[in-house]
């Protein structure tokens, strides 16, 4: 439920008392493409390691004519000096009705300038440098017109969508964060009592209604789901789950893990980012977002959060469980319905553009109300549990600690 200047960006909303909520009511089909999406895993016989990060996912497409000897092609497939590697290649994501090309990622290109491969280099990331590195200027292009808090392409490369396979379609279920090449951190309420083979994780996604990004997204089936043994589906205490994937994601600029916090980390008053594709307003009129959104939020100290929440319908006896952390409380800036499981990440001090996971979107009272923060799973308080499960899967948690 990210709201900003009147634009709401929503997450899965769960209330401890006084409201009947159902995960089934939160499933939306924003990730449907009109065709079956087959995850690149061993099930399909497709080797994920063969994905080339510099290839265009639509290189074989039939392009729309936009004039004599001109076609609408992805901007990075036109060599007329529109795209460069300095970050000056600006794309306005707002619809321009006068533009000859319908898709904002396309450019009307002279046929003599059309190429099969991008004229910019998308470098492979250096996995050795570690986790949690943001791409603040995006990859391949930079956007303008982001009046609704749209994120840059690949700005938050750990962000994933958790999809549910149903009738040959992938339906959006929740958000999550990549914490290792084959492990996703999300909320337990997103995957509680779900069968692993019905869940698909999509990484590298940005605009859910196009496949024309410069680096394609990748899908993986889930092999195993573990959620906290003391997860309470009513109060959402210990609302944390890990998804083990059938095969690891390839290391690309738009697919990278976020760092994990240390057990004692406290983020009070830090300004952090929440991301997701949740609804644009609270209630039945809200719509799921097409392009990944971001919102910056302050972490609210625990005692203040509990005091503020007691002023809501939760009442004066409400006690904030130790497995929660709060962020927000600024009018029209929040997370809301549709963003459950999505990450709240906070900056690593002394390391610009580097982040660690601080929270997982859990629940809230309304969306974007002044002095009413959103409530997130406290990742630092559950770090020992996360480490225990990662070691069972033979993954060294230290590799994902800054």
Q: What is the pLDDT of residue 28?
A: 37
Q: What is the pLDDT of residue 185?
A: 98
Confidence of residue 284 (pLDDT cuts 50, 70, 90): low
Q: What is the pLDDT of residue 147?
A: 59
- Residue 1 in this model has a pLDDT that exceeds 60: no
Coil/strand/helix, residue 384:
helix
Coil/strand/helix, residue 242:
strand
- List pLDDT tens digits, range 350-363: 999 999 999 999 99
Coil/strand/helix, residue 347:
strand
Confidence of residue 271 (pLDDT cuts 50, 70, 90): very high
- List pLDDT tens digits, range 23-60: 333 333 334 433 333 343 333 222 222 233 333 333 34
Bridge partners of 360, per DSSP, are 343, 377
- Please state, in angstroms and rounded to a whole number, the distance separating the CA atoms of residues 189 and 341: 8
- Residue 332 in this model has a pLDDT that exceeds 80: no
- Averaged confidence pLDDT in the chain: 78
- List pLDDT tens digits, range 8-31: 334 333 333 333 333 333 333 334
Bridge partners of 170, per DSSP, are 165
| Domain locations along the chain | 65-110, 155-255+383-393
Q: Other C-beta atoms within 10 Å of 399: how many? A: 15
Q: Other C-beta atoms within 10 Å of 54: how many? A: 16
- Please state, in angstroms and rounded to a whole number, the distance separating the CA atoms of residues 75 and 390: 41
Spatial strand order of the sheet with 70-74 comes to 64-67, 70-74, 106-110
Q: What is the pLDDT of residue 93?
A: 56
Q: What percent of the chain has pLDDT over 70?
A: 71
- CATH architecture, domain defined by 155-255+383-393: Beta Barrel (2.40)
* Residues with Cβ within 8 Å of residue 33, at least 6 apart in sequence: 209, 211
**Does an H or E element contain 191, and which?**
helix 188-191
Task: Determine the average pLDDT of the residues in 168-183.
Answer: 93
- Please state, in angstroms and rounded to a whole number, the distance separating the CA atoms of residues 315 and 331: 21
3-state secondary structure 173-233: EEEEEEEECCEEEECHHHHCCCCHHHEEEEECCCECCCCCCCCCCEEEEEEEEEECCCCCC
Q: Which residue has the tokens 């990748």?
A: 218
73-82, 171-180, 299-308: range with lowest mean pLDDT: 73-82
């Amino acid at each position: 439920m990210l709201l900003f200047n009147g634009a709401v960006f929503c997450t899965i909303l769960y209330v401890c008392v006084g409201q009947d909520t159902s995960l089934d009511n939160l499933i939306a089909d924003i990730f449907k493409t009109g065709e079956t999406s087959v995850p690149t895993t061993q099930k399909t016989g497709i080797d994920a390691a063969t994905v080339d990060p510099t290839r265009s996912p639509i290189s074989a497409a039939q392009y729309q004519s936009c004039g004599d000897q001109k076609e609408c092609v992805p901007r990075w497939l036109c060599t007329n000096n529109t795209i460069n590697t300095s970050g000056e290649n600006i794309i306005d994501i707002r619809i321009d009705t006068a533009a000859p090309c319908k898709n904002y990622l396309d450019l009307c290109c002279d046929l003599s300038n059309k190429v099969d491969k991008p004229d910019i280099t998308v470098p492979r990331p250096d996995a050795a440098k570690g986790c949690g590195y943001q791409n603040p200027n995006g990859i391949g292009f930079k956007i303008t017109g982001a009046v609704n808090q749209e994120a840059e392409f690949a700005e938050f490369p750990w962000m994933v969508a958790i999809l549910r396979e149903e009738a040959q379609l992938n339906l959006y279920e929740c958000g999550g964060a990549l914490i290792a090449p084959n492990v996703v951190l999300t909320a337990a309420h997103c995957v509680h009592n779900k069968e692993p083979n019905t869940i698909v994780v999509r990484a590298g996604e940005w605009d859910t209604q196009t496949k024309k990004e410069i680096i394609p997204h990748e899908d993986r089936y889930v092999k195993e789901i573990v959620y906290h043994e003391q997860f309470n589906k009513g109060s959402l205490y210990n609302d944390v789950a890990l998804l083990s994937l059938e095969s690891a994601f390839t290391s690309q600029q738009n697919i990278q893990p976020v760092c994990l916090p240390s057990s004692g980390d406290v983020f009070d008053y830090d300004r952090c980012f929440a991301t997701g594709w949740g609804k644009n307003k609270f209630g039945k009129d809200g719509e799921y977002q097409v392009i990944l959104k971001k919102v910056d939020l302050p972490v609210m100290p625990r005692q203040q959060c509990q005091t503020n929440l007691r002023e809501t319908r939760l009442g004066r006896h409400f006690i904030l469980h130790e497995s929660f952390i709060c962020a927000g409380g600024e009018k029209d800036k929040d997370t809301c319905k549709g963003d459950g499981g999505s990450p709240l990440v906070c900056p690593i001090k002394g390391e610009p553009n580097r982040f660690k996971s601080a929270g997982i979107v859990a629940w809230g009272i309304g969306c974007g109300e002044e002095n009413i923060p959103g409530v997130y799973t406290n990742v630092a308080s559950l770090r020992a549990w996360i480490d225990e499960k990662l070691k069972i899967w033979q993954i060294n948690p230290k590799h994902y600690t800054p």
